[in-house]
Each structure stands twice: as structure tokens, then as C-alpha cells.
Chain A
Amino acid sequence: MILQHIADGILSGAIVALGAIGLSFTMKMLRFANFSHSELLTWGAYSALVFLAFFSSFGGFFDQTIGPFSFGADLLLAMLCACIATSIIALLLHRFVFERLSRMAGHMTMVFASFGVALTLRHLVVLIWGSDPIYYSRELQFAILLPGNVRVMPDQVFLLGLTVVVVIALHLFMSRSRTGIAMRGVAESPDLARASGVNVDRIITWVWAIGASGAAIGGVLYGMTVQLRPELGFSLILPLFAAAILGGTGSLYGAVLGGLIVGLSENLSVMVIPTTYKPAVPFLLILAILYFRPEGIFGERSR
């Protein structure tokens, strides 16, 4: 039983981690808590639905499911397009809302604006796609029985695999590419980075694109393994913030580790508290971490 909870915790933690990467970066580099970040997961998931309809209309190879999974090449291509679409949404929001506000007002104003943006984005989803749950596929899947009587779906194995690939790719990007290194510089100090000849605006564009793509992948994976609902992202706000704060904002590994901790503690909590209180667990984690180590696990203590 406990092993099953751990497996479920890792799986939901992976989705939280993908979303938290972008939230953590924007919190550190743009210095505001973006309450609308979670809606990017929703938009990623739902925009993939549109691309899925497009690609599956080609039929044949695109439409066929791959191996034991419930999806085919069409959903993978749709996920890629959803990353691009969600990045465009994020960049438009940055260009027309957040960037303007950061120039003319304080970063708290950006937080209010993110409330408004979140409300608008979430309910636009209801307007366009309705509020009933939607599934990418109705394919039946058989659970794989792992040692210890743990059951996982093939799609969930894919979820975990893809998350690992994304994190490794991001790790290489951040540590090897000039852009990635510049990004870490901007996280440390935008002024110093600018003085060293880094084009900060270009880096911020990258931050949004990476954050939104991570969110879109997380959203699609959530839609694939659970279902699509307009509250998909909204219900993840606290887990995302918990993961970003736990890991220390601006840290890739912090966000990933934070996501796993949040996923595991949510799923393990049901052994001690009633399931109905599970959504409060990320909040308790936030309180605990802010109380004992406000800079997060990987964050640096400011002196």
C-alpha cells in the first residue's frame, strides 16, 4: 500500500515539478509571484486538444497508438505545438501586461495583475471548451504490475520518462549553453548581467518560453493520465508554489525536488489524515519551509 502511494506521489510530483520550474524561474528573475502560471498548464493541455484534432485527421501513422500507450504520434506532435502556443501566450502576457507593469509600478502590482490574468485565462477555457471533463483518448490500457503490488499505467511510465528527459535537457541547457549560463547570471543579478553584456530582455523571453513549455508539457501529461478540466491548473496553484518555494526560487533542481516532495507528501498524507484534507498539505509545507528555511532547500541565504 505504501509503495503504491510512493509511486503515485512520484507521478503527481513529476507534473508539479514541470510546472514549478517556470514558476520558480519567474519568481526569481522577474521578482513576482505569478498566480497565473498554473493557468499555463491548463492552456497547454487544452491547446494540445486542438492540435491533436488536426494531426489525427491525417489518420494512418499519426492516428495509431504506439506500443502499450494510449496515444500516438499525433499527441506527441500536439504536445510540441502546445509548448509553442503556450509560450506565445506567456510572451504576449509578458509583453502587454507584466512588462509594462514592472516598468511603471512595483512588483506587487504584477501580482494583482496575475490574479486578473488567472481569472480571465481560466474562464476563457470554460467559454471555449465547456466545463465538462475531456479526455485525449478513450483507449483502454492495462496496468503494469510492479514488484510490491504496485500498479502503474504505461502512460504514467511515459510521464516519468519524459519528465526525466526534460529535466536532463534543461540541465544541459542551463550548464552548457551560453544562453543558459546567462540565464543563471540574470537570476543572480540582472544589473550585473546587463553590465556584463547580457541581453536581459532576450534572456527573459527564454525564461517565459521555458516556463510555459514546461507548464504545457505538465498540462498535457496531466490530461493524458488524469483528465482535462478547466480547474486543472488552478487546483495546482498551491502545489506549484510549494514546490518552487521548497526548492528555493530560481533553482532547476530545487523545483524538481520540491515537486517530488510535494507529490510524495500529498499522497502519503492520506495515510494519516482524511483524504478530503489532502489539498491543504502543500500549504502546510509552504508554512513549514517559510518558517524554518525561508530561502528554500537549494536557495542561498541572503546576507
Chain B
Amino acid sequence: MIGLVSYIVFFLILSLIFGIAVLGLNLQWGFTGLFNAGVAGFTAIGAYTMAILTGPARDAVLGGFELPFVVGLIGAMMASGIGAVIVGLATLKLRHEYLAVATFGIAVTIQLVCLNWEYLTGGTLGLIGIPNPSKAWADGPLAQNALYLLVVLVVVGLTFAALERIVKSPWGRMLKAIREDDIAAASLGKSPERVRLEAFVLGCMIMGLSGALYVSFIGYVSPWDFLPIVTFQIWTMLIVGGSANNRGALLGALIVWGVWTMSGFVISRVVPSEIQAQGGAMQAVLIGLILVVTLLIRPRGLIGEELHVSRHARS
């Protein structure tokens, strides 16, 4: 029984951390219509910033600041935000599919930097020994994980509440206006370029936050955690849950991560150990099929965008 509870806690922590990244992507694609195919890159920036800011001193690698957890989270968001400003200025003028190609390329480049800039990232070995604050507050893995889940829940709750407020604000309505028709929005005196950049940067900061929470929980960071497949997983979560709906984004994260871990569990039990490596491929095939089938039979996702009618239009 304890085993199951610990497993559920562990599962919830990871799926909610993914959920935060999906919320960030939802702001970009769901509400603003920005096709960011480089999600893994921005979570990586956040993750490495967290590792550098809060991690212990290391030989020949930048670090040793041992800053508090919250400072690390803020730093991670800032770093991802700065990265997003640079990327956004260079690419946000592009049409949809070109933006997808360009951001995909950015994620590949960021992963290469993680892999090769040893002074900053520890290279292929990554960075280990990143403190998890819950270890100082409680004894025993279950209590520690439960505490960390609480931290993650608070962050998810704050992010969710902030995003709900934002998208219902005048600025949020402007995002949708630009998504639907940027020329019409521009004709009303809005600046689509500026608003797109703001939404892109904010979304990437949230992705960085997700990466930071991930490394503190896992305790190390390695370039292999940010392969393009992560981007595809996060996209699948958003599509399955329903884009332009923050509840859908979180629901999608829970369901897709659930399918991923459950299928991994089943494969590890059923598939003979000689071909376990192929088991991972089976999981990926499943995720790919879920994405395609969702698009075909329920393109809005499980809970898609709620339709709003302006209260001035109601009679």
C-alpha cells in the first residue's frame, strides 16, 4: 500500500511538472497561435540555470553559488525569458511552419550546447548533487516526496491562477485577437509583434520554471533529458487535453504521462528483458499514435477552448 502511495506521489510530481510546461505552451500556441517546436530547449535553459545557481561547487565547472531554492526558480525563469527574447526577436516574424522549423532548430542547438559546453553544463555527464529542499524539511523518501508534491502543487496553482487571470484580462483577449487575425488586431491599434513577443517570453519563462522544478526533484541534470522527444510529448499533452484551455493543458499532462508510465510498466513486465530496449520504442509509438488519433477523431482535445461571446453582444 505504501508502495502504491509513493508511486502515485512520484507520478503526480512528474506529471504536474510536465503540466507546467504544457501551461506555458498553451499560452503560446493555444491563446496566441505561436508554434513553438523548441519546448525542450527552454525547459533545458531553466533546468541548467537551476542546477548552476543552487548546486554545489564543482571542479572546472561554473557553480558553487548554493543559492536558495526560490532564488533558483526565479533565476531559471529569468534565464529562459532572456533566451526567449533573443529567439523571439529573431524568429517571431516568421510564418507558422517556418517558426516551427526555426524553434525546432533552436532546441537542437541548445541541446548541443548542453552537451558540449563543459564549463557551463558539465558536458555529457551533466551536473549532479542538485539540492532538493524537501530533503532538509522531512525524513524518509515518502515524506520528502509528499512535501515536494506540495511545493509543485503550489507552483502549479499559482501558475494556473495567474494564467487564468491573464487570459481573461484585456491583454489575454488581445492574444486571441492576434491569433485569429493579426491584421484586424493591428488595424485596431494593437501591435501584434510586441504582444507576440510578450506571450512567447512569458510562455518560455513558465517552461523554464518547469525545467527548474524537474532538476531539483531528480537531483541531477543531463543533456539527454532534453531531446526533441520531450517537445513532442509536451505537444501531445496539449493536443490531447485541449489547447486554449488551461484545465485541458493540465488534464492532458496527467493523461499522457499516465499512458507513458503505465505502458512502460506493462512493457517492463510483459516484454522479455533481452528486448527491453525496444520497449521504450513501443512507448514512443504509442505517444505518436495518440497524437495522430486525437487529431483525427477529436481535434479540439478532451476539453477544448470554451467559446466566449462578448457580454456587449448579448441581448
A294 B98 Cβ-Cβ under 8 A? yes
Shortest C-beta distance, A253 to chain B (Å), equals 21
Nearest-neighbour CB distance to chain B for A131, whole angstroms, equals 6
Q: How far is the CB of B92 from chain A (nearest CB, A)?
A: 11
Contact A286 B105 (CB under 8 A): yes
Which segment of B6-14, B49-57, B283-291 sits at the interface?
Answer: B283-291
Residue A298 lies at the interface, judged by CB distance under 8 Å to chain B: no
**With an 8 A cutoff between CB atoms, is A108 at the interface?**
yes
| In the assembled complex, A167 has its CB within 8 A of some CB on chain B | no
Decide if A287 touches B105 in the complex (CB within 8 Å): yes
Could you say which residues of chain B place their CB within 8 Å of the CB of A122? Answer: 284
CB nearest neighbor in A for B299 = A105
B108 touches A238 (CB 8 A): yes
Which residue of chain A has the shortest Cβ distance to B293 in the bound complex? A116
How far, in whole Å, are A107 and B91 apart by their CA atoms in the complex? 20
Q: A123 and B282: CB pair below 8 A?
A: yes
For residue A93, which residue of chain B has the nearest CB? B292
* Dominant SS among interface residues on chain A: helix
B-side contacts of A237, CB under 8 Å: 104
Collect the chain A residues with CB atoms within 8 Å of residue B284's CB: 119-120, 122-123
Residues of chain A contacted by B90 (CB below 8 angstroms): 287, 291
A interface residue count range (under 10 / 10 to 19 / 20 to 34 / 35 or more)? 35 or more
Q: Does A145 belong to the interface (CB within 8 Å)?
A: no
Shortest distance in angstroms between B143's beta carbon and chain A's nearest beta carbon? 37
Residue in chain A with minimal CB distance to B278: A127
Identify 10 residue pairs between A and B in the complex whose beta-carbon atoms are under 8 Å apart, listed by A's number.
Answer: A97-B296, A105-B295, A115-B291, A127-B278, A131-B277, A238-B104, A238-B108, A283-B109, A290-B102, A294-B94
B88 to chain A: closest CB distance in Å? 13
Contacts of B296 in A (CB 8 A): 97, 100-101, 113
CB atoms of B292 and A117 under 8 A apart: yes
Contacting residues, chain B, for A291 (C-beta < 8 A): 90
Taking Cβ atoms with an 8 Å cutoff, the residues of B that contact A are 35, 37, 90-91, 94, 96-98, 100-102, 104-106, 108-109, 112, 115-116, 229, 232, 235-236, 239, 277-278, 281-282, 284-285, 287-292, 295-296, 299
* A274 / chain B contacts, CB cutoff of 8 Å: 116
Residues of A within 8 A of B287 (CB): 116, 119
Whether the pair B102, A123 counts as a contact (CB closer than 8 A) is no
Question: Most chain-A Cβ atoms within 10 A of its Cβ — which of B96, B105, B106, B284?
Answer: B105
Q: How far is the CA of A138 from the CA of B289 in the complex (A)?
A: 36
Contact of A111 among B35, B115, B282, B299 (CB under 8 A): B35
Smallest beta-carbon distance B139→chain A, Å: 41
Contacts of A245 in B (CB 8 A): 98, 101
Binding site for B on A (CB under 8 A): 27, 32-33, 35, 97, 100-101, 104-105, 107-109, 111-113, 115-124, 126-127, 130-131, 237-238, 241, 245, 274, 276-277, 279-280, 282-283, 286-287, 290-291, 294
Q: Point out the residues of chain B lying under 8 angstroms from A115, CB to CB.
A: 37, 232, 235-236, 288, 291
B295 touches A101 (CB 8 A): yes
Closest residue of chain B to A240, judged by CB? B101
| Closest chain B residue to A241, Cβ basis | B101
Determine how close the nearest CB of chain B comes to the CB of A289; give it in whole angstroms.
10
Further 7 A-B residue pairs, CB within 8 A, beyond A108-B97, A115-B288: A97-B296, A111-B97, A116-B288, A130-B277, A238-B104, A276-B115, A287-B90
**A238 partner residues in chain B, CB cutoff 8 A:** 101, 104-105, 108
The residues of A that contact B96 with a CB separation of less than 8 Å are: 107-108, 111
Contact of A116 among B102, B108, B291 (CB under 8 A): B291
Residues B112 and A113 in contact, CB atoms below 8 Å apart? no
Nearest 4 A-B pairs (CB), nearest first?
A: A283-B105, A116-B291, A120-B288, A119-B288
Are A276 and B112 closer than 8 Å at their CB atoms? yes
Residues of B within 8 A of A101 (CB): 295-296
**Is B291's CB under 8 angstroms from A123's CB?**
no
Residue contact A119 to B285, C-beta cutoff 8 Å: yes
Q: A33-B97, A279-B108 are in contact. Are A116 and B229 (CB under 8 A)?
A: no
- A238 and chain B: residue at smallest CB distance: B105
Residue contact A282 to B105, C-beta cutoff 8 Å: yes
Task: Establish whether residues B116 and A286, one from each chain, have CB atoms under 8 Å apart when the complex forms.
Answer: no
* Chain B residues within 8 Å of A27, by CB: 97
A275 nearest CB neighbor, chain B only: B116
Q: Name A235's closest neighbour in chain B (CB-CB).
A: B108
Most chain B C-beta atoms within 10 Å of own C-beta, residue among A100, A108, A115: A115
CB contact between A104 and one of B94, B116, B299 (< 8 Å): that residue:
B299
> Bound complex: CA of A100 vs CA of B293, how far in Å?
12
Contact B98 A119 (CB under 8 A): no
Contact across chains for A116 and B281 when beta carbons are under 8 A apart:
no
Check if A124 sits within 8 Å of B285, measured CB to CB.
yes
A35 to B290, CA, bound (A): 17
CB distance from A259 to the nearest CB of B (A): 16
Cβ contact within 8 Å between B278 and A112: no
Nearest chain B CB to A171 CB, angstrom units: 27
Closest beta carbon of chain A to B231's beta carbon, Å = 8
Asked whether, in the complex, the Cβ of B101 is within 8 Å of the Cβ of A112, the reply is no
